[in-house]
Amino acid sequence: MKIIDNKALVMRLDDPTPVLTTIKQSEALDSHTVAVKWDLKNVHRLRSFNIKAPSPIEGKYSWPGMYKPYDHQKTTAAFLTLNPRAFCFNQQGTGKTGSAIWAADFLMTQKIIRRVLVVCPMSIMDAAWRNDLFTFAMHRRVDIAHGPADKRRKVIESNAEFVIINYDGIAIMQEELAAGGFDLIIVDEATAYATATTKRWKALSKLVTERTWLWMMTGTPAAQGPISAYGLAKLVNPRGVPRTFTSYRDSVMEKDGPFRWKPKPHAVQTVHQILQPAIRFTKEECLDLPDMVYVRRRAEMSSQQKAFYKQLRKDHLLALQGADVTAVNAAVMMNKLSQLACGCVYTDDGDVIEFDITNRYKALREVIDEAANKVIVFVPFQHTIDLLTEKLRADKTTVGVISGKVSAGKRTQLFREFQTTPDPRVLVVQPQAAAHGVTLTAADTIVWWSPTASLEIYEQANARIHRSGQKNKCTVVHLSGSAVEDRIYSLLGQKINVHSKIIELYDGSID
């Protein structure tokens, strides 16, 4: 037989297990052996006969980018290339964004797809997706469809191969997206589509045709119980679930009183069955993953905060009146800017001005909802701690607070409860109050609401979860809404004491 490609899947008819090998065109095959070209079309055909042929990405892809993939990322990417509709339930911090980018890029090289729509929270449109696309597929054209309708339209109608949009942007640009030629839709933090009756869900479902590839990614697929799996399954595996939500609910839940429901004994198996095909790696299963992973989320300042920043800058420059900037007045100004981004600014008279923290809180909420275990949130300022704690408790999140106002005895009790009992799930901590000596390994995720200026406090605070007794790989999330915060996180990552660069930070922020 003629071998078109020098890499083929070779099978013996009496042992139909494909073996990848290299064959010369002149090489003869015996009557019991069949060789086929190793491409996605033939792999799909073989798999339709329950022959588990491997994805050609495993041998025909160069894995471009600044970093080489981990083994679990290769496995995940291979799985995605073989499943036009699929779930990726890899845990937060395992690099599933990179896996999806490589898989999509490979499909582009094979001319299976031409264009990708990435749907994700605003906090990671730039910080995660655009940044990772530049890191892993810098040869691709990328743009973000966010802002006024005209701007979004231009991006969608441009030649960008990857277009990134936030959840609610789909409903706004429904017609333009439908005509945009998107062959693949990737939904990150897909629990936003758990409820099939929402406007958001209905807008996405209209974009998903029979020919559309759809990959939905989340580390917590059924965080709110069996009910939350229905909306996800109805998008990816619609034939695997009942037509109506009521029918599905009755299949997995039973009444436990007049207004309460509880899962039926077989609910876990049912959820597992409908959320297929799926792949999942926990951080512990990723043996080649670093013990500590650092990620960034963008939380834009509100218009109120931006206006106050301009006024603060103007007042400060007037006060200096051309005098040289010293480390002292630079530090004062930088502290004010950090307070502003956090959500509360202390005036010279000791009063507090509160700002809208909706964007930053939404980014934090996304991290908490995606985390499999407990979470520690480091917040540098007391009034912001009070404001944030109030919002978390209003959302029915169990919260413990450690700050300068909490007595030593109370802190000890809270630390013990955090380590040994289910609640609190979230610990809001003033970093100066718990940066040394305390073991908090019940958490494997840290969120910095805003950065500290002290390298020592930053490293010691992160070490609360990354120490003896920790059974999981750890994730540190940096929330940022301003250039000064970005610069501080960058210095901390380079192990540079922020105070040594305070004048440079000041100049960059004021200018």
Model confidence over 186-195: pLDDT tens digits?
Answer: 999 999 999 9
Given a cut of 70, whether residue 10 has pLDDT beyond it is: yes
Read off the pLDDT of residues 144-184 as tens digits, 9 standing for 90 and up: 999 999 999 999 999 999 999 999 999 999 999 999 999 99
Alpha-helical (H) ranges within 343-371 are 358-370
Whether residues 166 and 81 fall in one domain: yes
Same domain as 127, residue 37:
no
- According to the model, what pLDDT value does residue 247 have? 94
Amino acid identity at 385: I
CATH of the domain at 403: 3.40.50.300
Q: Domain check: are 31 and 130 in the same one?
A: no
Cβ distance 9 to 46 under 8 Å? yes
Average pLDDT score over residue span 347-361: 86
Question: In which domain, by residue range, is 237 found?
Answer: 61-279
pLDDT at 72 over 60: yes
CATH of the domain at 82: 3.40.50.10810
Residue 318 lies in a domain: no
pLDDT reported for residue 17: 65
pLDDT of residue 113: 97
Same domain, 135 and 230: yes
In angstroms, the CA 113 to CA 103 distance is: 11
pLDDT at 450: 93
Structural contact between residues 106 and 151, judged by C-beta atoms closer than 8 angstroms: no
Give a yes or no: residue 367 inside a domain: yes
Distance CA 55, CA 38 (A): 8
| Mean pLDDT, the chain, integer | 87
Does the pLDDT at position 1 exceed 50?
no
Q: Is residue 39 assigned to a domain?
A: yes
Does residue 123 share a domain with residue 98? yes
* 202 and 265 share one domain: yes
One domain for residues 250 and 105: yes
Same domain, 376 and 274: no
| Residue 315 resides in a domain | no
Tokens 């499909």 sit on residue: 107
Distance of CA 322 to the CA centre of its chain: 45
Which DSSP category does 499 fall into? G
Of 245, 279, 313, the domain-final residue: 279
**Predicted confidence band at 4 (pLDDT cuts at 50, 70, 90)?**
very low
Cβ contacts of 276 within 8 Å, gap of 6 or more: 87, 237, 240
Residue 404 is assigned to a structural domain of this protein: yes
> What distance in Å separates the CA atoms of residue 381 and residue 431, rounded to the nearest whole number?
9
pLDDT at 13: 62
Residue range 229-250: average pLDDT? 94
Same structural domain for residues 148 and 261?
A: yes
Q: Tell whether 287 is covered by a domain.
A: no
Q: How many domains does the chain have?
A: 3
Question: Are residues 116 and 250 both part of a single domain?
Answer: yes
- What pLDDT was estimated at residue 409? 86
Chain centroid offset of residue 179 CA:
28
- pLDDT for 42-57, tens place per residue? 888 888 888 888 899 9
Euclidean distance between CA atoms 269 and 488, whole angstroms: 47
Same-domain status, 378 and 450 = yes
Same domain, 367 and 425: yes
Please tell me which of 145-154, 284-293, 308-317, 489-498 the model is most confident about, judged by mean pLDDT: 145-154
**29-46: burial string, b at 16+ Cβ within 10 Å, e else:** eeeeeebbebbbebbeeb
Those residues with Cβ within 8 angstroms of residue 494's Cβ, 6 or more apart along the chain or in another chain? none
Residue 187 lies in a domain: yes
Contacts of 221 (CB under 8 A, 6+ apart): 87, 89, 190, 191, 228, 229, 232, 271, 275, 278
3-state secondary structure of 439: coil
The reply to whether 306 falls in a domain is no
Average pLDDT, integer, range 183-211: 95
Mean pLDDT value across residues 286-296: 83
278: number of Cβ within 10 Å:
19
**Could you say which of 216, 248, 279 is where a domain stops?**
279
Per-residue pLDDT band for 127 (boundaries 50, 70, 90) equals confident
